[in-house]
Structure 1
């Protein structure tokens, strides 16, 4: 199981220097790599079926782009989403065969993605399987950046963000087109942040240092140096969820508004921000696990915590943070907006 114990990096922004193109914060990164991956699923044993990278300059201008399908060496999963079939991927390169070229495109750049923890997690696992270390040291999530900029968005889906900036999407869930539209939306976001001299929400990318192909052992792998558990956290009073609880999450399905979601252990995204995203999507954030809990989100499903033990005892589904944040992009609406439980 991947555990991502990183913290937001601090970006010091000195007084701007004047260039022919105008002032630019000196503390900002020197380049970016906008990434999108399509996968066979959301679990730790799932594989990448396609990957795309748009390399950008420090100011967000496109330098070049790259795309490759990837043979996952297994069923491609939701072909109705990414459109890639077993036949289409049969002669595609294995991830190990594109790892060096992909690494070269990521080197010395900040990885940018929409729900970056998911794309980074999938890439880190694939690099580990290929016995390589990815060169990426930092990532930036465009969901987090949109929140920092307080963009007036009704939700944080990719199509909503790019639509806000007037970017036309041609092939949703195609890695190359998703990376293209995100690159086009990231540039004005970056410029808004620079104009306001906002620190960019950068997070460290810690590679997987050990790997086992066995799914059971996968759940026990750690990312880099282990971080400490946060332990007790003061509860935050939130407004009551306006939707009824539709029941437990069904594997392979969508999250549904009103679902009761509990969290256990450390998260790569600040816990309060992660819970805020869940609430904004129409989910009920629960402080404990019971038979009514729809889902437990944890990066350590084998940890001896009371929430994990309770989830196992009552049959509550368990999911890691990367898969959960990916599902947050498309939460199904509740059937009845009546007051929930």
Structure 2
């Protein structure tokens, strides 16, 4: 088992290529990334990071892991397992930024709920007065949807089980990155066989970030998500979906889990296609609300200061607010509806 107090790099011998005819427009290499953090808010910090570098065909070149001193409370230690004592002698992000960048440079960043990992990484580089050398990202949730994989949900463990990948230490950045790398390779090769265009998204650098306290309450009070897409006025028809089969358990509790049956509303632009994001939420057992009322459990918006009726009502009702990155991260582990 790797020690949590030192950066670790491991070279991996070359692997046999699958012999799949390869689309000429596919990227030349990938960096499969996982970061563990102090929380989900825009001003939260990274406590550990791992990168698996892959070839153009998804074969592992090497992997690297480091804990990171977040210069604050490490947050949910019961999830990532890293305590203040364990991180006391870990390097600061600025001290590992160059090595991290070397492993990202020239590659597509691959992650599960990639918008979350990307924004956390981009904000850390902004704090260090640098820009992460990433131009594109690929979300494995979107790829599995494009491949129409028969998954019960889009949790990492479900994707891993589909491809027979063993999870050894969930929520440890290195093991999560390994699991994702092993599941991404057959996904990539299947996409190549189908000549499927990869769901690549542009990574825009973050130029500012909130300095307020963490949490949804801070966002509701006006904390702005750095690097979020600017709000544009417009109207979109709501997709007709079957009724949510679960009762509304009430409001989302900041720092807690989403629960099946929660009423979730969306406002403004999202980096992931809105309909896809709503589909993911619906499949996880959430109720997609077209408006905000006193019964709304949560509002998801990348711009909590936008002049929209949903944002105004959320502020008036005290409805919890999360940005897209935090919300997609929480979608990985939605709690089952309480038994009636």
TM-score, normalised relative to structure 1: 0.90
What is residue 224 of structure 2 aligned with on the other side? 220
1:187 to 176, 185, 188: 185
State yes or no: 1:308 paired with 2:306.
Answer: no
State yes or no: 1:257 paired with 2:260.
Answer: yes
SS in 2 for 1:49: strand
State yes or no: 1:73 paired with 2:71.
Answer: yes
1:152 to 127, 140, 150: 150
- Residue 227 of structure 1, CA deviation: 4.5
Whole-Å separation in 2 of the counterparts to 1:207 and 1:301? 20
2:245 to 223, 242, 247: 242
SS in 2 for 1:140: strand
SS in 2 for 1:36: strand
TM-score, normalised relative to structure 2: 0.90
Taking structure 1 as reference, are residues 267 and 48 closer, same or farther at Cα in structure 2, changes over 3 Å only? same
Taking structure 1 as reference, are residues 153 and 221 closer, same or farther at Cα in structure 2, changes over 3 Å only? closer
Whole-Å separation in 1 of the counterparts to 2:230 and 2:320? 25
SS in 1 for 2:264: strand
Taking structure 1 as reference, are residues 254 and 153 closer, same or farther at Cα in structure 2, changes over 3 Å only? same
Whole-Å separation in 2 of the counterparts to 1:61 and 1:198? 19
Assess if the C-alpha contact under 8 Å between 2:43 and 2:209 holds in 1: no
1:38 to 28, 36, 47: 36
- Residue 30 of structure 1, CA deviation: 0.2
What is residue 7 of structure 1 aligned with on the other side? none
- Residue 235 of structure 1, CA deviation: 1.6
What is residue 4 of structure 1 aligned with on the other side? none
SS in 2 for 1:68: strand
SS in 2 for 1:203: strand
Assess if the C-alpha contact under 8 Å between 1:129 and 1:213 holds in 2: no
Could you report, residue by residue, the CA deviation over 1:52-74 in whole angstroms, capped at 9, with x for unpaired residues?
Answer: 00000000000010000000000
- Name structure 1 gaps, 5 residues minimum: 1-18
- Residue 20 of structure 1, CA deviation: 11
Whole-Å separation in 1 of the counterparts to 2:324 and 2:255? 15
Whole-Å separation in 1 of the counterparts to 2:167 and 2:243? 35
- Residue 304 of structure 1, CA deviation: 1.7
Could you report, residue by residue, the CA deviation over 1:116-135 in whole angstroms, capped at 9, with x for unpaired residues?
Answer: 00000100110100110110
Please give the root-mean-square deviation of Cα atoms over the aligned residues, in Å: 1.8
